[in-house]
């Protein structure tokens, strides 16, 4: 409330004219009755093609081994880890939107949290694949987990790589729980609205028999709030642990104490960019402009600007401290980044992540949908470049010039990368097709708050009662459906 009253120019978080029923219908109809738009089939088909490319690339990897990738000493971490960090960072905005903004009572989160959480989940799926695939023998990935096996060895818990296993699996499971818990009431709504018998049964099973009981809601609200409270430090810890994969190493350019906060800010930055990239076409496709309003897009643009500035500050610190350290290798690293063979990636990174977002200071840019869409894609590219710069430029020329080398990704690196984008897109569009993409019950709470207090959307029902309610409600046990029609 306070946020709106500060600036009257801010648009609403929910356009007027909705009742509880119309809100629910609008969102369930996207899945249940509305004809699937042609664009959905096109996008899902593109995603599916990407998924097939992923299948092909992974099959090749499993058959021929990791040698088909461009990674080799000295650059043993290439696209696999670049993409891993990129995807996991994208996921973070979803958790941030659903958890941190819930705790800080930012109600503009409500209409975007569901699909931002889905985005998190699918981004973690994509991310989690890379560390497993780059193991060399991916089918033995379970050796990473501490279980007693015949070799008699255990994971080494002083290593950030083992922390990473725990952080990523915890993150994936918690995100799934959070997302599913949020879905339960809406799945019950789908169950009650579905006409198709199979859909009714399927939604019914996943809704777990939710019946909206007041006691259930009370426990549900506590559990959901606590999950949000748990997810908030989790999201910070996950990307911090990811950054420790680098920071705990001795490679110049990796051993940087600023990494954890700077990685977390970068993750949020890229995640919000991805939410914008997805939200803009989806709201147009399903005509959800009254639910995902200009206000949402503008708020996300502001978060992007803020986190983008933190990230830019991180770049400056990185460069400053490496020169200030007067350490030969650190100074060389910065020179090599700026003027070496990969200088293009370093300057492109500055252009994408630091320069382009300065446009977001202007309200006209923040409220222009094409500009936001283009900027969000530029930031996605920029954040990918950031990881490329961190990993490749640090590794390819470290201590001994005799051990220097170059990294050139092969067609299989690209195939795997584009493949995971296809997987992500495909999962995202399946989600939009089968699950309400905006949290209905939460939107109803928002509607209640927007219409001030616990008043009902349609006040006209009040008139029907008054004194005459004696016979209006004089329902015999059998004759109950009187008002069913009027509704």
Partner 1 sequence: MLKRRKTGDAQPTADAKSKGGGLFKRGGSQTKPTGQPQLYGVVAEFDNEEDLVKAAHHAYEAGYRRMDAFTPYPIEEVSEAIGFHHNRVALIVLIGGLTGVIAGFLLQYYIMVIDYPLNFNGRAPFAWPAFVPVMFETTILGSAFAAVLGMLALNGLPLLYHPVMKTPGFERVTRDGYFFAIEAADPAFDSAKVRQFFQEQRARNIAEVNV
Pick out residues in 440-479 that bind partner 1 (CB under 8 A): 441-442, 444-445, 448, 454-456, 461, 465, 469-470, 472-475, 477
Question: Does residue 398 interact with partner 1 by CB under 8 A?
Answer: no
User: Nearest distance from residue 204's CB to partner 1, in Å?
Assistant: 6
CB 131 within 8 Å of CB 84:
yes
Choices 88-96, 208-216, 348-356, 366-374 (CB under 8 A): range interacting with partner 1? 208-216
Q: What angle do CA 188, 193, 195 make, to 5 degrees?
A: 125
Q: Using CB under 8 A, which residues numbered 222 to 281 contact partner 1?
A: 222-223, 226-227, 230-231, 233-234, 237, 241, 244
User: Nearest distance from residue 176's CB to partner 1, in Å?
Assistant: 9
Distances in whole angstroms, Cα of residue 394 to Cα of each of 16, 87, 236, 254, 354: 53, 20, 24, 7, 21
Report the C-alpha gap between 65 and 34 in whole angstroms.
46
User: Nearest distance from residue 369's CB to partner 1, in Å?
Assistant: 30
Question: Which one of 4, 20, 327, 345 is in contact with partner 1 (CB under 8 A)?
Answer: 20
Q: Which is nearer to partner 1, 231 or 372 (CB)?
A: 231
CB 34 within 8 Å of CB 25:
no
Question: Which one of 18, 92, 109, 191 is in contact with partner 1 (CB under 8 A)?
Answer: 191
Question: Does residue 5 interact with partner 1 by CB under 8 A?
Answer: no
Report the C-alpha gap between 360 and 303 in whole angstroms.
10
User: Nearest distance from residue 170's CB to partner 1, in Å?
Assistant: 4
Distances in whole angstroms, Cα of residue 415 to Cα of each of 136, 412, 421: 17, 5, 10
Q: Which is nearer to partner 1, 72 or 170 (CB)?
A: 170
List the alpha helices (DSSP H) in 325-410.
328-339, 343-349, 363-366, 369-388, 394-396
Q: Using CB under 8 A, which residues numbered 400 to 439 contact partner 1?
A: none
Q: Using CB under 8 A, which residues numbered 275 to 294 contact partner 1?
A: none
- Number of residues interacting with partner 1: please give it, by CB under 8 A: 81
Report the C-alpha gap between 96 and 409 in whole angstroms.
32
Report the C-alpha gap between 484 and 475 in whole angstroms.
13
Report the C-alpha gap between 152 and 331 in whole angstroms.
44
Q: Using CB under 8 A, which residues numbered 351 to 390 contact partner 1?
A: none
> Which of 447, 439, 445 is closest to 118 using CA atoms?
439
Question: Which one of 10, 19, 367, 368 is in contact with partner 1 (CB under 8 A)?
Answer: 19
Q: Using CB under 8 A, which residues numbered 91 to 150 contact partner 1?
A: 146
Question: Which one of 9, 197, 215, 364 is in contact with partner 1 (CB under 8 A)?
Answer: 215
Choices 169-177, 295-303, 346-354, 414-422 (CB under 8 A): range interacting with partner 1? 169-177
Report the C-alpha gap between 452 and 446 in whole angstroms.
10
User: Nearest distance from residue 66's CB to partner 1, in Å?
Assistant: 27
> Which of 117, 49, 102 is closest to 438 using CA atoms?
117
Other Cβ atoms less than 10 A from the Cβ of 294: the count is 17
Choices 176-184, 353-361, 364-372, 408-416 (CB under 8 A): range interacting with partner 1? 176-184
Task: State the chain's maximal CA–CA distance in angstroms.
Answer: 95
Question: Which one of 137, 219, 287, 363 is in contact with partner 1 (CB under 8 A)?
Answer: 219
Q: Which is nearer to partner 1, 402 or 459 (CB)?
A: 459
User: Nearest distance from residue 212's CB to partner 1, in Å?
Assistant: 4
* Cα distance between the two ends of the chain: 31
Choices 37-45, 92-100, 188-196, 406-414 (CB under 8 A): range interacting with partner 1? 188-196
User: Nearest distance from residue 200's CB to partner 1, in Å?
Assistant: 10
Report the C-alpha gap between 347 and 351 in whole angstroms.
6
Question: Which one of 86, 178, 388, 412 is in contact with partner 1 (CB under 8 A)?
Answer: 178
CB 390 within 8 Å of CB 407:
no
């Amino acid at each position: 409330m306070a946020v709106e009253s500060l600036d009257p120019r801010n648009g609403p978080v929910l356009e007027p004219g909705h009742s509880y029923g119309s809100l629910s219908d609008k969102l369930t109809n996207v899945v249940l009755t509305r004809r699937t738009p042609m664009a959905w089939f096109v996008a899902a088909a593109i995603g599916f093609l990407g998924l097939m490319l992923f299948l092909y690339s992974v099959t090749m990897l499993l058959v021929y081994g990791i040698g088909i990738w461009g990674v080799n000493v000295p650059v043993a971490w290439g696209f696999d880890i670049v993409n891993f960090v990129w995807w996991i960072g994208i996921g973070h905005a979803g958790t941030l939107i659903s958890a941190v903004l819930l705790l800080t009572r930012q109600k503009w989160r409500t209409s975007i949290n569901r699909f931002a959480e889905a985005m998190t989940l699918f981004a973690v799926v994509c991310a989690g694949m890379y560390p497993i695939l780059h193991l060399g023998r991916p089918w033995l990935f379970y050796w990473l987990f501490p279980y007693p096996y015949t070799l008699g060895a255990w994971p080494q818990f002083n290593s950030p790589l083992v922390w990473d296993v725990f952080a990523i699996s915890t993150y994936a499971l918690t995100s799934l729980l959070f997302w599913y818990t949020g879905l339960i009431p809406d799945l019950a709504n789908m169950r009650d609205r579905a006409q198709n018998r199979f859909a009714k049964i399927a939604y019914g099973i996943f809704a777990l028999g939710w019946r909206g009981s007041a006691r259930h809601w009370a426990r549900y609200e506590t559990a959901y709030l606590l999950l949000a409270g748990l997810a908030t430090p989790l999201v910070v810890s996950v990307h911090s642990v990811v950054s420790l994969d680098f920071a705990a190493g001795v490679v110049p350019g990796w051993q940087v104490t600023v990494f954890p906060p700077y990685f977390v800010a970068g993750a949020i930055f890229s995640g919000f960019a991805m939410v914008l990239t997805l939200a803009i076409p989806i709201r147009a496709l399903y005509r959800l402009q009254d639910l995902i309003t200009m206000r949402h897009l503008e708020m996300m643009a502001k978060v992007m600007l803020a986190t983008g500035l933190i990230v830019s500050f991180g770049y400056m610190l990185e460069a400053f401290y490496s020169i200030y350290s007067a350490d030969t290798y650190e100074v060389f690293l910065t020179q090599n980044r700026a003027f070496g063979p990969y200088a293009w990636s370093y300057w492109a990174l500055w252009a994408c992540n630091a320069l382009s977002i300065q446009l977001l200071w202007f309200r006209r840019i923040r409220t222009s949908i094409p500009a936001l869409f283009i900027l969000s894609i530029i930031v996605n590219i920029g954040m990918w470049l950031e990881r490329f710069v961190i990993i490749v430029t640090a590794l390819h020329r470290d201590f001994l010039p005799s051990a220097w080398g170059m990294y050139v990704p092969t067609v299989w690196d690209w195939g795997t990368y584009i493949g995971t984008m296809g997987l992500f897109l495909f999962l995202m569009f399946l989600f939009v097709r089968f699950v309400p993409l905006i949290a209905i019950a939460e939107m109803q709470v928002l509607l209640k708050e927007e219409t001030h207090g616990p008043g009902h959307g349609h006040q006209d029902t009040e008139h029907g009662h008054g004194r005459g309610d004696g016979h209006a409600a004089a329902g015999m046990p059998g004759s109950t459906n009187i008002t069913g029609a009027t509704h």
